[in-house]
């Protein structure tokens, strides 16, 4: 609940005015609906009474009938305005929330970010934001405007019909609906959480089944895994059945509440009219108002079904937003060159360190290649050198400062790492490159493309405006690799860290690309992780990590 | 386009066919619940008219309450049945997808098919629980109310008759706009999410390039642009529903004003002879909103239908892409008896529109064999054929003296070991991934696969949960784990796909060593590779070039 409150507070701060206006219109809609039925009922009953009494000719028909028309049209207009305003405000707030989520996730430490990659966390984050539109639209605003409409109706019914009927209506509706919603909301929490977990189990087991079905078939496990997938779904359906039953029971309770309130208002009105405390038309107005008040509680039923899901989504989004950013403070060092002293790294909980006591130095203009079998820690050294992983022993100096003391911004201006699986995004070639250098002119872009032996490819595809698909599709593996390298070169770093830079390139292109890198950045200190012969030959020195 | 939409309707109808009787019953119950309202209206009219006449008809009030409770219960039961029917239809379709995909040999990506079987299929549920009963009510309730209105007053009946059809006509126009709108809106939301997912996936690179600010501000622009587009779409939808409400409101207001004037005696037409009684006037007034309500319910549920049809379209595509299932059931059965000999003759498959032919060969028990050839020659396909996980176009595969068929495939696979080129691990402990829950001592197998030290170095040893592609392990380590897994089943034949691809010489030598250790126990090896060094260690090399 408090998670939902936090989310609403965020949305509220962002869109206070629009939400207030929308809520005011929402109250108007409800009031107009109550007024419409109340006045119509009163009008018909009063006309019937006047007709019976033979005073029809002097009965004022124009004011009530004008009021009926005004309320009918007013309600329609107010509803249109209310929906437009609240949806617009909510969408604005959610768009803002997405941006904040991106910013907060970008600030996560590297080992957490890596775990996000390719996992469902991403899809969940987006689905979570989608689920949150219900917080203002289906929960808080209807609840708020419903309560306000109840309060105003109480005042009006008291003034026009009488205190007894007014009290009956407000106590019955607010109390009855309140108890129902609290009960249903509490009942729904556990099954909706369980249904969500079962949904995730279904998804991950099914993906496992599809991805490993050959292995499973050979080891006779297809039936077992299929059963596991279906069992997760069966659990989820059982929880959804429970949820649906809770929601329907809430609906049943609200519906019966409506009937009881309306019959009560009718009976009470009849009793009071028979005692002469009320005219029959006022009794009718009370009854019709009771019918219309149903509209203040009925929409909350949807919220009951959603509240568990929204709560989960809110908790996850809050959790991500609360992530503390990586150190933003630090210094800017001078000088260049990279130096590792007695460097060691051990994964948390692992029995053996990945590496220990590593020493090396790369001066400007030098190239050092780290060699060794896979698993020997080459990539780990690069990640530490890029400041993404903290060494568990020794330290790395960049220029005059320890790496840990550098401010993030100036560190990134001095040093670039091209990881083994660097990512490209949808967009033009120009956008892909200017991501690294927003101020670069087209001539600079063509320069670096030429160095990477990509100019021909890009020209044949239609130039810098050629649009890459999602994840950079539209280029071959080798072309994508060279584009990623070109992007890094545009930063003109003093220290360049390359993880298997020529992977996926044929020997001739690899040689051209490697020579190009050095020619483009003659002064850079270059550290690579390599196992290709060409890269090892290209480096000035090779350090074997085995 | 129209044809495509027709197909979607057919797929949706086929999906709901098994629960049609249930749906019809539930829609009937929902309609019956709606028809209780005219009775309640009559009772209220009786009560208020009685009050005007100086009576106190308490029975009418009690009747109103009882009928209301009855209506609520009937609705509750109808909703329960609808949900159950919808859930059943969705679950049946989901099981069909899971069962077929479990035995499929190719098909769409795991993520896409999981999304279809999971959250997308769920979109059919609101269609069943909201749209279907609204459709049932629309076909009965307005006509009943119309008849009741004409029975009391032809003028009120006429108002209904004229304003009523305006709604479906308008709704047809709105419906088209709304369908487009909801489709576009879904697409917009989808593309915004894609944008976010892509940026989140590229976060490390964005950080390394110092481009956080650029990326966030361009994403903010995108999010804002999409919000504006979504709003312009929503505006159409809201406007249309406002117009529907307006028609209904005008109709109700006209009826109310007419009845008021009639009761006052100002108007002298619209009834049959005698003027309206107060009871009839109140009755008609109470009926008026419910005349329009079913139509409004239907239009409010329109996007449920659009969403269900979109899912049906995807389901139809999935059904159309029916792929060949593997031989057998993939369940664990007793090992096929007989010497582990493999004979292949005249084998041909069709792949990607071209024919691949394989040379005839025989592998006797214990023999080691390399399938050598360039990428795309069909080495992996041959391994799959030998394991009964693909079916040839022509030719014969004989295993242990019997033809490889659906009847023998499971028993044959029980004798095989399998090393895929890309290791995938289940979302479970490493121990489970090695043994699949059988009690077994894994130490010997780990040692033979030279992966003992790697497991010891994992954070929680055998209890470690590996990422789906063996995250936390290097490519060579993950490969050797699949070798250990194969060794654990004491296979007679090991099928290995490119066991040394992308590995440096030292790691490749370790993997090769493990393979040779397994061969020394008498297991046949059939290895698809383009590593000449590995091939030279085998007894025989079979070159696969695709030349027929």
Instruction: Name the most confidently modeled range: A164-173, A372-381, A396-405, B456-465.
Output: A164-173
Looking at the fold, whether A527 and A403 belong to one and the same domain comes out as yes
Q: What is the CATH number of the domain that holds A208?
A: 1.20.1560.10
pLDDT score of B502:
67
Counting one residue from chain A and one from chain B, the pairs whose CB atoms sit within 8 A come to 413
Lowest-confidence pick of A241-245, A330-334, B353-357: A330-334
- Tell me, yes or no, whether A297 lies in a domain: yes
A-contacting residues of B 378-417, CB under 8 Å?
A: 384, 387-389, 410, 413-414, 416-417
Provide the number of structural domains found in chain B. 2
pLDDT bin (cut points 50, 70, 90) of residue B159 is very high
Looking at the fold, whether A82 and A123 belong to one and the same domain comes out as yes
HSE (CB half, 13 Å, CA atoms) of B442?
Answer: 26
In DSSP terms, A331 is beta-bridged to A406
Q: Rounded distance, CA A176 to CA B130, Å?
A: 26
Looking at the fold, whether A295 and A423 belong to one and the same domain comes out as no
pLDDT bin (cut points 50, 70, 90) of residue A119 is very low
Looking at the fold, whether B11 and B77 belong to one and the same domain comes out as yes
Asked if A84 lies within 8 A of B454 by C-beta distance, the reply is: no
Whether the CB-CB separation of B434 and B488 falls below 8 Å is answered with yes
> Which residue range forms the structural domain that includes residue A365?
338-544
Lowest-confidence pick of A77-81, A253-257, B210-214, B363-367: B210-214
Mean pLDDT of the A88-116 span: 81
Lowest-confidence pick of A254-258, A474-478, B311-315: A474-478
pLDDT bin (cut points 50, 70, 90) of residue B421 is confident
State yes or no: pLDDT of A329 exceeds 80: no
Whether the CB-CB separation of B300 and B133 falls below 8 Å is answered with no
- Of B287, B320, B353, the residue at which a domain comes to its end is B320
For residues B147 and B511, the model is more confident at B147
Number of other CB atoms surrounding residue B95 within 10 Å: 16
- Tell me, yes or no, whether B336 lies in a domain: no
Choose the closest CB to B261 out of A61, A98, A219. A61
Looking at the fold, whether B371 and B285 belong to one and the same domain comes out as no
C-alpha distances out from residue A89 to A251, A509, B181, B454, Å: 29, 53, 19, 54
Looking at the fold, whether B469 and B524 belong to one and the same domain comes out as yes
How is residue B393 annotated by DSSP? S
Looking at the fold, whether A304 and A370 belong to one and the same domain comes out as no
Q: Rounded distance, CA A334 to CA A332, Å?
A: 7
A-contacting residues of B 125-184, CB under 8 Å?
A: none
pLDDT score of A376:
80
Asked if A237 lies within 8 A of B79 by C-beta distance, the reply is: no
Looking at the fold, whether A276 and A378 belong to one and the same domain comes out as no
Whether the CB-CB separation of B521 and B457 falls below 8 Å is answered with no
Choose the closest CB to B282 out of A44, A99, A352. A44
Asked if A251 lies within 8 A of B76 by C-beta distance, the reply is: yes
Choose the closest CB to B216 out of A103, A274, A386. A103
Q: Rounded distance, CA A86 to CA B225, Å?
A: 18
Contacts of B414 in chain A (CB under 8 A): 220
Looking at the fold, whether B307 and B368 belong to one and the same domain comes out as no
pLDDT bin (cut points 50, 70, 90) of residue A123 is low
pLDDT score of A122:
61
Lowest-confidence pick of A236-250, B46-60, B137-151, B265-279: B265-279
Could you tell me the two tokens for A60? 């004022």
pLDDT score of B547:
45
State yes or no: pLDDT of A328 exceeds 60: no
- Tell me, yes or no, whether B328 lies in a domain: no
Looking at the fold, whether A298 and A374 belong to one and the same domain comes out as no
- Of B320, B354, B370, the residue at which a domain comes to its end is B320
Looking at the fold, whether B306 and B407 belong to one and the same domain comes out as no
Among A18, A81, A106, which would you mutate to test the B interface (most chain B Cβ atoms within 10 Å of its Cβ)? A106
- Give the pTM: 0.82
Mean pLDDT of the A131-141 span: 88
pLDDT score of B1:
38
Contacts of B49 in chain A (CB under 8 A): 48
Looking at the fold, whether A313 and A459 belong to one and the same domain comes out as no
Phi, psi for A278 (deg, rounded to 5): -135, 150
- Of B262, B287, B320, the residue at which a domain comes to its end is B320
Lowest-confidence pick of A112-126, A395-409, B2-16: A112-126
- Tell me, yes or no, whether A332 lies in a domain: no
For residues A57 and B91, the model is more confident at B91
Number of other CB atoms surrounding residue B232 within 10 Å: 12
Mean pLDDT of the A480-491 span: 93
Asked if B425 lies within 8 A of A212 by C-beta distance, the reply is: yes
pLDDT score of B467:
61
Percent of chain B with pLDDT over 90: 41
pLDDT bin (cut points 50, 70, 90) of residue A484 is very high
Asked if A280 lies within 8 A of B114 by C-beta distance, the reply is: no
State yes or no: pLDDT of A281 exceeds 60: yes
State the nearest Cα–Cα gap between A268 and chain B, in angstroms: 10
Asked if B436 lies within 8 A of A221 by C-beta distance, the reply is: yes
Choose the closest CB to B118 out of A125, A202, A260. A202
Mean pLDDT of the A469-478 span: 76
For residues B337 and B191, the model is more confident at B337
Contacts of A274 in chain B (CB under 8 A): 51, 56
- Tell me, yes or no, whether A328 lies in a domain: no
Instruction: Name the most confidently modeled range: A317-326, B39-48, B198-207, B446-455.
Output: B39-48
State the nearest Cα–Cα gap between A417 and chain B, in angstroms: 6
pLDDT bin (cut points 50, 70, 90) of residue B228 is confident
Q: Does B303 touch chain A (CB under 8 A)?
A: no
**Sequence-separated (6 or more) residues with CB below 8 Å from residue B129:** B79, B82, B83, B86
Which residue of chain B is at minimal alpha-carbon distance from A387? B208
Q: Does B208 touch chain A (CB under 8 A)?
A: yes
pLDDT in tens, A434-455: 998 988 999 999 999 999 999 9
Q: What is the CATH number of the domain that holds A412?
A: 3.40.50.300
pLDDT score of B349:
87
Whether the CB-CB separation of B468 and A211 falls below 8 Å is answered with yes
pLDDT in tens, B362-410: 999 999 999 988 766 788 889 999 999 888 989 999 999 999 999 999 9
Mean pLDDT of the B139-162 span: 94
State the nearest Cα–Cα gap between A267 and chain B, in angstroms: 6
Which residue of chain B is at minimal alpha-carbon distance from A469? B198
Looking at the fold, whether B386 and B284 belong to one and the same domain comes out as no
Q: What is the CATH number of the domain that holds B112?
A: 1.20.1560.10
Provide the number of structural domains found in chain A. 2
Q: What is the CATH number of the domain that holds B482?
A: 3.40.50.300
- For chain B, what is the mean pLDDT? 86
Percent of chain A with pLDDT over 70: 95
Looking at the fold, whether A147 and A232 belong to one and the same domain comes out as yes
Asked if B197 lies within 8 A of A126 by C-beta distance, the reply is: yes
Mean pLDDT of the A63-79 span: 89
State yes or no: pLDDT of A407 exceeds 80: yes
- Tell me, yes or no, whether A330 lies in a domain: no
> Which residue range forms the structural domain that includes residue B258?
2-320
State the nearest Cα–Cα gap between B425 and chain A, in angstroms: 7
- Tell me, yes or no, whether B120 lies in a domain: yes
Q: Does B315 touch chain A (CB under 8 A)?
A: no
Looking at the fold, whether B159 and B217 belong to one and the same domain comes out as yes
- Tell me, yes or no, whether B214 lies in a domain: yes
Contacts of B209 in chain A (CB under 8 A): 412, 416, 435-436, 487-488, 491
Looking at the fold, whether B312 and B352 belong to one and the same domain comes out as no
- Of A321, A354, A370, the residue at which a domain comes to its end is A321
pLDDT bin (cut points 50, 70, 90) of residue A337 is confident
State yes or no: pLDDT of B203 exceeds 90: no
Looking at the fold, whether B87 and B170 belong to one and the same domain comes out as yes
Asked if B333 lies within 8 A of A220 by C-beta distance, the reply is: yes
- Tell me, yes or no, whether A380 lies in a domain: yes
State yes or no: pLDDT of B174 exceeds 80: no
- Tell me, yes or no, whether A512 lies in a domain: yes
Looking at the fold, whether B348 and B308 belong to one and the same domain comes out as no
pLDDT score of B182:
61
């Amino acid at each position: 609940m408090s998670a939902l409150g936090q989310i609403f507070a965020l949305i509220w701060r962002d869109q206070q005015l629009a939400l207030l206006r929308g809520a005011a219109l929402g109250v108007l809609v409800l009031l107009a609906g109550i007024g419409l039925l109340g006045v119509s009922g009163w009008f018909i009953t009063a006309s019937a009474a006047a007709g019976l009494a033979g005073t029809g000719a002097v009965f004022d028909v124009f004011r009530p009938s004008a009021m009926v028309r005004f309320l009918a049209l007013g309600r329609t207009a107010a509803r249109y305005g209310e929906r437009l305003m609240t949806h617009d405000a909510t969408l604005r707030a959610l768009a803002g929330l997405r941006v904040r989520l991106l910013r907060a996730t970008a600030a996560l430490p590297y080992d957490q970010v890596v775990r996000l990659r390719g996992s469902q966390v991403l899809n969940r984050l987006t689905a979570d934001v989608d689920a949150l539109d219900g917080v203002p639209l289906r929960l808080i605003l209807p609840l708020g405007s419903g309560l306000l409409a109840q309060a105003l109706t109480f005042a009006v019914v008291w003034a026009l019909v009488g205190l007894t009927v007014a009290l009956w209506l407000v106590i019955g509706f607010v109390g009855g609906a309140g108890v129902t919603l609290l009960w249903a909301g509490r009942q729904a929490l556990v099954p909706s959480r369980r249904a969500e977990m079962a949904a995730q189990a279904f998804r991950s087991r099914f993906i496992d089944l599809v991805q490993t079905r050959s292995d499973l078939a050979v080891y006779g496990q297809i039936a077992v895994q299929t059963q596991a997938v279906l069992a997760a779904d069966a659990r989820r359906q059982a929880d959804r059945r429970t949820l649906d039953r809770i929601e329907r029971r809430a609906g049943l309770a609200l519906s019966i509440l409506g009937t009881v309130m309306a019959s009560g208002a009718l009976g009470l009105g009849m009793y009071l009219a028979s005692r002469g405390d009320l005219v029959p038309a006022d009794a009718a107005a009370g009854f019709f108002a009771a019918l219309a008040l149903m509209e203040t509680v009925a929409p909350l039923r949807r919220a009951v079904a959603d509240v568990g899901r929204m709560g989960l989504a809110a908790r996850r989004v809050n959790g991500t937003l609360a992530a503390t950013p990586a150190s933003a403070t630090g210094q800017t060092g001078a000088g260049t060159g990279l130096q590792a002293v007695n460097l060691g790294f051990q994964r948390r909980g692992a029995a053996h360190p990945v590496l220990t006591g590593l020493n090396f130095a790369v001066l400007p203009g030098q190239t050092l290649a780290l060699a060794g079998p896979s698993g020997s820690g080459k990539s780990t050294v690069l990640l530490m050198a890029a400041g993404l992983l903290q060494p568990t022993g020794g330290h790395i100096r960049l220029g005059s400062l320890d790496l840990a003391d550098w401010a993030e911004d100036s560190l990134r201006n001095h040093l670039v790492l091209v990881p083994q699986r660097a990512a490209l995004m949808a967009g033009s070639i120009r956008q892909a490159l200017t991501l690294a250098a927003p101020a670069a002119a087209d001539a600079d872009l063509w320069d670096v493309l030429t160095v990477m032996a990509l100019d021909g490819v890009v020209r044949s595809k239609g130039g810098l405006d050629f649009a890459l698909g999602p994840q950079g599709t539209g280029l071959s593996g080798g072309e994508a690799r060279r584009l990623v390298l070109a992007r890094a070169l545009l930063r003109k770093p003093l220290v360049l860290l390359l993880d298997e830079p020529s992977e996926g390139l044929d020997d001739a292109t690899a040689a051209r690309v490697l020579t190009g890198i050095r020619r483009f950045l003659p002064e850079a200190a270059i550290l690579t992780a390599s196992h290709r012969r060409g890269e090892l030959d290209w480096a000035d020195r090779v350090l074997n990590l085995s | 386009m129209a044809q495509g939409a027709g197909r979607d309707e057919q797929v949706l109808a086929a999906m709901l066919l098994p629960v049609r009787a249930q749906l019809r019953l539930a829609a009937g119950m929902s309609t019956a619940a709606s028809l209780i309202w005219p009775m309640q209206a009559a009772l209220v009219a009786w009560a208020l008219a009685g009050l005007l006449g100086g009576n106190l008809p308490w029975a009418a009030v009690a009747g109103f309450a009882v009928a209301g409770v009855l209506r609520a219960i009937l609705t509750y039961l109808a909703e329960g049945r609808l949900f159950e029917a919808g859930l059943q239809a969705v679950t049946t379709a989901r099981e069909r997808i899971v069962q077929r995909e479990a035995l499929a040999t190719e098909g769409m990506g795991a993520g896409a098919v999981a999304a279809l079987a999971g959250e997308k299929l769920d979109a059919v549920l609101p269609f069943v629980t909201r749209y279907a009963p609204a459709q049932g009510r629309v076909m009965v309730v307005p006509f009943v109310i119309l008849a009741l209105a004409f029975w009391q007053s032809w003028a009120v009946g006429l108002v209904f008759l004229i304003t009523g059809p305006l709604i479906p006509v308008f709704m047809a126009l709105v419906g088209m706009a709304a369908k487009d709108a909801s489709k576009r809106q879904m697409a917009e939301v989808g593309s915004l999410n894609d944008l976010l997912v892509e940026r989140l996936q590229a976060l490390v690179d964005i950080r390394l390039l110092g481009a956080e600010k650029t990326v966030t501000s361009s994403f903010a622009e995108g999010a804002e642009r999409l919000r504006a587009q979504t709003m312009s779409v929503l505006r159409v939808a809201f406007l249309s529903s406002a117009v529907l409400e307006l028609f209904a409101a005008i109709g109700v207001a006209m009826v109310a004003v007419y009845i008021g004037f009639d009761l006052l005696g100002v108007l002298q037409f619209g009834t049959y002879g005698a003027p309206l009684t107060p009871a009839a006037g109140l009755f008609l007034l109470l009926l008026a909103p419910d005349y329009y309500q079913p139509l409004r319910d239907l239009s409010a549920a329109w996007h449920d239908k659009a969403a269900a049809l979109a899912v049906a379209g995807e389901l139809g595509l999935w059904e159309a892409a029916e792929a060949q299932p593997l031989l057998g059931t993939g369940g664990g059965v007793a090992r096929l008896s007989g010497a582990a000999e493999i004979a292949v003759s005249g084998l041909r498959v069709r792949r990607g529109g071209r024919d691949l032919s394989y040379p005839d060969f025989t592998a006797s028990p214990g023999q080691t064999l390399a399938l050598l050839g360039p990428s795309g020659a069909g080495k992996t396909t041959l391994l799959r054929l030998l394991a009964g996980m693909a079916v040839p176009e022509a030719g014969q595969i004989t295993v242990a003296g019997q033809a490889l068929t659906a009847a023998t495939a499971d028993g044959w696979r029980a004798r095989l070991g399998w090393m895929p080129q890309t290791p995938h691990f289940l979302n479970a402990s490493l121990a489970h991934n090695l043994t699949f829950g059988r009690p077994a001592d894994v130490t010997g197998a780990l040692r033979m696969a030279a992966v003992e030290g790697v497991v010891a170095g994992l954070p929680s040893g055998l209890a470690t949960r590996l990422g789906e592609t063996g995250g936390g392990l290097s490519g060579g380590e993950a490969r050797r784990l699949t070798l250990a897994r194969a060794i654990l089943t004491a296979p007679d034949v090991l099928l290995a796909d490119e066991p040394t691809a992308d590995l440096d010489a030292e790691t490749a030598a370790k993997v090769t060593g493990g393979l040779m250790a397994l061969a020394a126990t008498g297991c046949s090896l059939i290895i698809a590779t383009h590593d000449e060094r590995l091939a030279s260690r085998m007894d025989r090399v079979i070159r696969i070039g695709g030349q027929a």
